[in-house]
């Protein structure tokens, strides 16, 4: 159940036609948010903040019926609302630029108050091998106890979600209202996150997604996390906003390295070169930054062909043809070895017939 | 006076026995053909008239009626020329004493009386033999094709003159039965020895061909997908006689059979262009002809650049891939054509082709890539057992002088693996591993307890759908066969998992 104060904020936040600064000013003008339910006081405050035109409309919204109507809409999809003054409002957001008045949560909202949140973001279009790495990193971090914060788009976001979903430690921050799944093709994945982890938004559930909401959303991703990993993107990729927000807040930014002149990773390289982002080529970089330890799996000792092939891949001989050449094996001998290593989680298959040691 | 001759017309691959009756009577000069003849049959009276006139010098001025029984079946094609001529000659000339009651007669006539070859001879001969006929009289050029059938006398004639001689009592020596031999020593224009590197893909090809598995190759433009696909005929297993008969019958009906060769010895490799219509692919049209997928029966259907085909065209393939036969239904009736082909397809990773490339930049947006891949539906992907990526080959490797394994060597292995399968399935009514159903899977693809666990683990680790299980087992069975192993071992299973069809994630 929500307190009267919380209800007042929820009602205030639901007014889509009202600018953020006005909402803040209205709140600042009253002693307690619940005072707004006094029609006369609300009218007075609204008049002083936004002028005659809308004051009446705003003031008349503060009644139990309308509040109940909004809550009912939220409860239909099991959405919980955490207001600025609620218990469980993430402390990270107190200092973020334009702290959200309300957070609309589908899923396990306790994840918000957990420590060691770490953002993984990147372009919607990443190379397949970087996506594989992203998934792998997300899985490692989340299984070690970190919480992955990311968006909801395809590409890097989805890859990060896929990696972290198993341990249920992922927060997907969506740009529009929570009722509007965007992008549509990702509905399944986002629903999975809602069921076993958490999806949040600062917009009221019915608010449709708009292009300018994405940079706004990115401030929330950066704000919630201790650090950010940029997995890839062109120079003008939306991920640059996340990186900039994080850098401005003095947070640690990690980036995957890319070959020179690679357009698809130009953002990462420029972050490393110009903005002091940390080059990240090993998940331990992030784990040690978060103060986490890699969960030790029961390691099986490699032997024979598996050992020699794994060593080669670790040395950077990634192509199946090259491995054959180096070892003198035949493809029918190598194929089972590669799959076995892949199943043991020691290597990942990149695009084509190349492999990378994890 | 009425006289009769027997012939066969085809509906699809099925024969229909046609009795040709002619009646010659005094009266006004006329030449009528009744009994639902189509245009080609109707026109045959003019060919018959000229052929007889030019062979024996005269054609009588009498009233001639030809009836084609059964009267309610539409008769098509020109292969009724000869039986009409024979029946007519016998009616006109009582010196032609030969009894043709147990002889099937087919052939097209030219105006000067020469016999032209007709299509569909093999299924006609098979049908004649099944019906208990002793002889088949046909154009000389068709003899070779017909001679694949044992147990029926093949009487080949070059022209009407020889037929008349036969009818008047002379003998024609039966064309000898020719034993079927698969073509083994053919120099193929595309040989695996010309493909440098690409060992992973070559191996996948070998496995796919050995077990008849459908296969998808994904690779950037210029990576050699088409070249690899073109090598398939050079490693494909030899055809058995039964397979060759089935395939020849279809090609014969389609009219694409090499008449001098008379039989399809090599497994067909059919590459329809992506503008091919659905009908061209599955069969149909006025005379319900077989489509390209039936031409690829017992062979390979190669779809290059699969997403370029219309979605509808691709979906047409689903049912034949499942049932290995296509039923073409028209108002006239249903025709069943066998369509048991191995589907080999290739596609780019994205519309521009550079997605995933280490060197080149991909210019496609995420949604473009998604749309491109969405053209290939899940159910179709479900029927593809082996998915493999084709990498660009580095320049140095391309020019290296190193000797690569030749197709002939691979083909030998493939043949042996096929032999193993044929032996195993001889009581199950299937020919290769790809055709296994749940019953055969349970019988022949038993895993040890440990391997079963491994498979389960890999499903979890690699996020595969449960439907992938039977695909992996089938491929593992083939790999074990290539290794002459009675049971599926761990290494076979592991390799098969490597060829899993991972769909298009990311």
Pick the CATH number of B192-424 from 3.40.50.300, 3.20.20.210, 1.20.1440.230, 3.40.50.1010: 3.40.50.300
- What's the gap between Cα A214 and its chain centre? 12
CB atoms within 10 A of CB A72: 9
Instruction: Say if residue A183 is preceded by a cis peptide, omega within 30 of 0.
Output: yes
Residue B503: pLDDT band (50, 70, 90) is low
Give helix then strand counts, H and E, for chain A: 15, 11
pLDDT (mean) for B239-250: 87
* Secondary structure string (H, E, C) spanning B407-444: HHHHHHHHHHHHHHHHHHCCCCCCCCHHHCCHHHHHHH
Q: Which regions of chain A does DSSP assign to beta strands (E)?
A: 80-83, 102-107, 117-121, 147-150, 170-173, 198-201, 227-230, 252-255, 278-279, 347-349, 355-357
Please name the CATH architecture into which domain A304-357 falls.
Orthogonal Bundle (1.10)
For residue B349, the chain A residue with the least C-alpha distance is A351
Note the pLDDT tens digit of each residue in B61-89. Answer: 899 999 998 988 888 878 899 999 999 99
Terminal Cα-to-Cα distance of chain B (whole angstroms): 80
DSSP-assigned states of every residue in B90-106: HHH-TT-----TTEEE-
Contact of B141 with B109, CB cutoff 8 Å: no
Query: How far apart (Å, rounded) are the C-alpha atoms in residues B120 and A290?
Result: 76
Q: Tell me: pLDDT of A276 over 80.
A: yes
Contact status of A242 with chain B (Cβ, < 8 Å): no
Buried-state track B323-334, b at ≥16 Cβ within 10 A, e below 16: ebebebeeeeee
Q: What is the CA radius of gyration of chain B?
A: 28
Bigger pLDDT: A312 vs A357: A312
Least confident among A181-185, B9-13, B179-183, B207-211: B179-183
**Nearest CB partner across the interface for A336, out of B356, B362, B494:** B494
Task: Tell me if B494 and A354 make a contact (CB, 8 A cut-off).
Answer: no
Strands A102-107 and A117-121: unpaired
Size of interface A-B (CB pairs under 8 A): 93
Interface test with A, best of B347, B503, B506 (most A CBs within 10 A): B506
Task: Tell me if B391 and A338 make a contact (CB, 8 A cut-off).
Answer: no
Note the pLDDT tens digit of each residue in A120-153. Answer: 999 988 888 888 889 989 999 999 999 999 999 9
Q: Which fold has domain B2-167?
A: Ribosomal Protein S5; domain 2 (3.30.230)
Query: How far apart (Å, rounded) are the C-alpha atoms in residues A116 and A144?
Result: 10
Task: Tell me if B200 and A262 make a contact (CB, 8 A cut-off).
Answer: no
Q: What is the ipTM of this complex?
A: 0.76
Note the pLDDT tens digit of each residue in A294-330. Answer: 766 656 678 888 888 988 888 888 888 888 888 888 8
Closest approach of A309 to chain B, Cα-based (Å): 15
Bigger pLDDT: B179 vs A5: A5
pLDDT (mean) for B404-422: 91
Q: Tell me: pLDDT of B185 over 80.
A: no
Residues β-bridged to residue B326: B337
Ramachandran quadrant class, B139 (left: phi over 0; alpha: psi -120 to 50; beta: rest):
beta
Contact of B425 with B467, CB cutoff 8 Å: no
Q: Which regions of B358-506 does DSSP assign to beta strands (E)?
A: 386-390
Query: How far apart (Å, rounded) are the C-alpha atoms in residues A240 and A100?
Result: 21
pLDDT (mean) for A216-241: 93
CB atoms within 10 A of CB B305: 15
Largest CA distance in chain B: 90
For residue B356, the chain A residue with the least C-alpha distance is A127
Sequence spans of domains, chain B: 2-167, 192-424, 436-506
Note the pLDDT tens digit of each residue in B105-128. Answer: 999 999 999 999 988 898 999 999
> What is the pLDDT at residue A298?
58
Q: What is the dihedral of CA A65, A68, A70, A73, to 10 degrees?
A: -130
Residue B399: pLDDT band (50, 70, 90) is confident
Query: How far apart (Å, rounded) are the C-alpha atoms in residues A186 and B84?
Result: 69
Residue with tokens 């020889």: B162
Which residue from A3, A137, A2 is spatially nearest to A79, judged by alpha carbons? Answer: A2
Whole-number percent of chain B with pLDDT over 70 = 98
Contact status of A28 with chain B (Cβ, < 8 Å): no
Residue with tokens 């009592």: B169
Query: How far apart (Å, rounded) are the C-alpha atoms in residues B414 and B216?
Result: 19
Strands A117-121 and A227-230: parallel
Which residue from B257, B197, B205 is spatially nearest to B230, judged by alpha carbons? Answer: B205
Tokens of B92: 């006109």
Question: What are the CB-based long-range contacts (under 8 Å, 24+) for A326-331?
Answer: A329/A305, A330/B199, A331/B199, A331/B200, A331/B202, A331/B203
Query: How far apart (Å, rounded) are the C-alpha atoms in residues A26 and A8?
Result: 11
Sequence spans of domains, chain A: 4-76, 109-290, 304-357
Which residue from B18, B17, B15, B41 is spatially nearest to B124, judged by alpha carbons? Answer: B15
Contact of A137 with A163, CB cutoff 8 Å: yes
Q: Across chain A, what does the average pLDDT equal?
A: 89
Residue B396: pLDDT band (50, 70, 90) is confident
Strand order across the beta sheet in which B269-270 lies? B269-270, B300-303, B342-347, B215-219, B386-390
Query: In B, residues 190-229, which contact A (CB 8 Å cutoff)?
Result: 197-203, 219
Which residue from B277, B335, B323, B316 is spatially nearest to B297, judged by alpha carbons? Answer: B323
Residue with tokens 């019906």: B131
Task: Tell me if B461 and A331 make a contact (CB, 8 A cut-off).
Answer: no
Residue B506: pLDDT band (50, 70, 90) is very low
Query: How far apart (Å, rounded) are the C-alpha atoms in residues B9 and A228?
Result: 76
Note the pLDDT tens digit of each residue in B296-348. Answer: 999 999 999 999 998 889 989 999 998 899 999 888 778 899 999 999 999 99
**Nearest CB partner across the interface for B356, out of A124, A127, A330:** A127
At residue A172, what are phi and psi to the nearest 5 degrees? -100, 120
> What is the pLDDT at residue A138?
94
Q: How far is CA A206 from CA A57, A203, B415, in A?
A: 20, 8, 64
Strands A147-150 and B215-219: unpaired
Q: How far is CA A271 from CA A215, A248, A256, A257, B461, in A?
A: 18, 13, 10, 10, 33
Pick the CATH number of A109-290 from 3.30.499.10, 3.40.50.450, 3.40.50.2300, 1.10.620.20: 3.40.50.450
Q: Across chain B, what does the average pLDDT equal?
A: 88
Query: How far apart (Å, rounded) are the C-alpha atoms in residues A309 and A318?
Result: 10
Task: Tell me if B366 and A262 make a contact (CB, 8 A cut-off).
Answer: no
């Amino acid at each position: 159940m929500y307190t009267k104060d919380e209800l007042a904020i929820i009602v205030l936040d639901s007014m889509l036609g009202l600018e953020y600064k006005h909402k803040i000013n209205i709140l600042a003008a009253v002693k307690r948010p619940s005072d707004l339910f006094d029609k006369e006081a609300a009218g007075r405050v609204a008049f002083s903040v936004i002028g005659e035109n809308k004051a009446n409309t705003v003031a008349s919204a503060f009644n139990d019926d309308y509040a109940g109507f909004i809550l009912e809409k939220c409860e239909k999809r099991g959405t919980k609302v955490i207001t600025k003054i609620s218990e469980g409002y993430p402390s990270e957001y107190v200092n973020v630029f334009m702290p959200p008045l309300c957070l609309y949560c589908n899923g396990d909202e306790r994840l918000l108050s957990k420590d060691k949140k770490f953002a993984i973001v990147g372009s919607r279009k990443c190379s397949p091998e970087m996506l594989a790495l992203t998934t792998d990193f997300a899985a490692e971090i989340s299984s070690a106890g970190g919480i992955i914060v990311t968006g909801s788009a395809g590409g890097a976001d989805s890859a990060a979600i896929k990696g972290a979903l198993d341990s249920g430690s992922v927060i997907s921050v969506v740009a529009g209202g929570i009722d509007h799944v965007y992008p549509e093709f990702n509905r399944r994945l986002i629903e999975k996150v809602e069921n076993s982890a958490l999806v949040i938004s600062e917009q009221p559930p019915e608010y449709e997604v708009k292009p300018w909401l994405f940079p706004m959303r990115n401030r929330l991703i950066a704000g919630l996390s201790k650090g950010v990993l940029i997995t890839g993107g062109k120079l003008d990729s939306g991920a640059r906003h996340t990186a900039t927000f994080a850098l401005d807040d003095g947070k640690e930014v990690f980036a995957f390295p890319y070959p020179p002149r690679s357009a698809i990773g130009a953002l990462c390289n420029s972050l490393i070169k110009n903005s002091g982002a940390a080059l990240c080529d090993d998940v331990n970089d992030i784990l040690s930054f978060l103060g986490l330890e890699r969960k030790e799996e029961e390691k099986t000792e490699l032997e024979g062909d598996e050992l020699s092939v794994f060593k080669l891949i670790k040395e950077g001989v990634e192509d199946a043809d090259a491995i054959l050449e180096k070892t003198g094996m035949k493809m029918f001998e190598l194929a089972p070895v590669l799959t076995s290593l892949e199943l043991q989680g020691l290597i990942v298959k990149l695009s084509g017939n190349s492999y990378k040691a994890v | 006076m009425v006289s009769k001759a027997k012939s066969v017309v085809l509906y699809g691959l099925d024969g229909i026995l046609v009795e040709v009756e002619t009646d010659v009577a005094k009266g006004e000069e006329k030449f009528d053909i009744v009994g639902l003849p189509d245009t080609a049959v109707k026109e045959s009276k003019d060919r018959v008239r000229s052929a007889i006139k030019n062979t024996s010098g005269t054609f009588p001025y009498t009233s001639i009626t030809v009836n084609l029984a059964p009267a309610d079946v539409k008769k098509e094609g020109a292969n009724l020329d000869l039986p009409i001529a024979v029946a007519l000659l016998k009616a006109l000339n009582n010196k032609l004493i030969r009894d043709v009651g147990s002889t099937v007669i087919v052939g097209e006539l030219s105006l000067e009386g020469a016999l032209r070859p007709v299509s569909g001879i093999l299924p006609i001969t098979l049908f004649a033999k099944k019906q208990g006929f002793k002889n088949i009289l046909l154009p000389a050029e068709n003899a070779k094709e017909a001679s694949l059938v044992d147990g029926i006398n093949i009487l080949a004639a070059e022209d009407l003159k020889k037929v008349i001689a036969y009818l008047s009592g002379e003998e024609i020596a039966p064309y000898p039965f020719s034993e079927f031999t698969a073509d083994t020593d053919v120099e193929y224009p595309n040989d695996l020895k010309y493909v440098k590197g690409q060992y992973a893909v070559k191996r996948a090809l070998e496995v796919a061909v050995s077990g008849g598995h459908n296969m998808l190759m994904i690779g950037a433009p210029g990576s050699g997908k088409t070249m690899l696909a073109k090598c398939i005929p050079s490693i494909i297993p030899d055809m058995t006689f039964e397979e060759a008969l089935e395939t020849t019958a279809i090609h014969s009906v389609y009219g694409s059979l090499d008449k001098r060769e008379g039989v399809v010895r090599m497994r067909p490799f059919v590459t329809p262009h992506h503008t091919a219509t659905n009908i061209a692919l599955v069969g149909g049209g006025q005379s319900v002809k077989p489509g390209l997928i039936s031409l690829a029966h017992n062979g390979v259907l190669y779809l290059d650049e699969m997403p370029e085909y219309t979605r509808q065209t691709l979906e047409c393939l689903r049912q034949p891939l499942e049932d290995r036969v296509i039923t073409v239904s028209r108002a006239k009736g249903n025709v069943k054509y066998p369509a048991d082909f191995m589907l080999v397809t290739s596609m780019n990773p994205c519309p521009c082709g550079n997605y995933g490339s280490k060197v080149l930049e991909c210019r496609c947006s995420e949604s473009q890539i998604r749309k491109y891949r969405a053209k290939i539906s899940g159910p179709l992907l479900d029927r593809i057992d082996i998915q493999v990526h084709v990498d660009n080959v580095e320049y140095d490797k391309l020019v290296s002088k190193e000797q690569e394994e030749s197709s002939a060597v691979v083909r030998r292995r493939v043949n042996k693996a096929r032999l193993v399968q044929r032996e195993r399935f001889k009581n199950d009514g299937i020919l290769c591993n790809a055709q296994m159903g749940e019953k055969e899977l349970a019988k022949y693809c038993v895993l040890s307890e440990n391997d079963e666990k491994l498979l389960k683990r890999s499903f979890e680790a690699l996020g595969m759908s449960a439907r992938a299980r039977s695909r992996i087992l089938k491929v593992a069975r083939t790999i074990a066969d290539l290794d002459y192993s009675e049971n599926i071992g761990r290494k076979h299973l592991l390799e098969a998992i490597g060829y899993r069809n991972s769909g298009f994630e990311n």
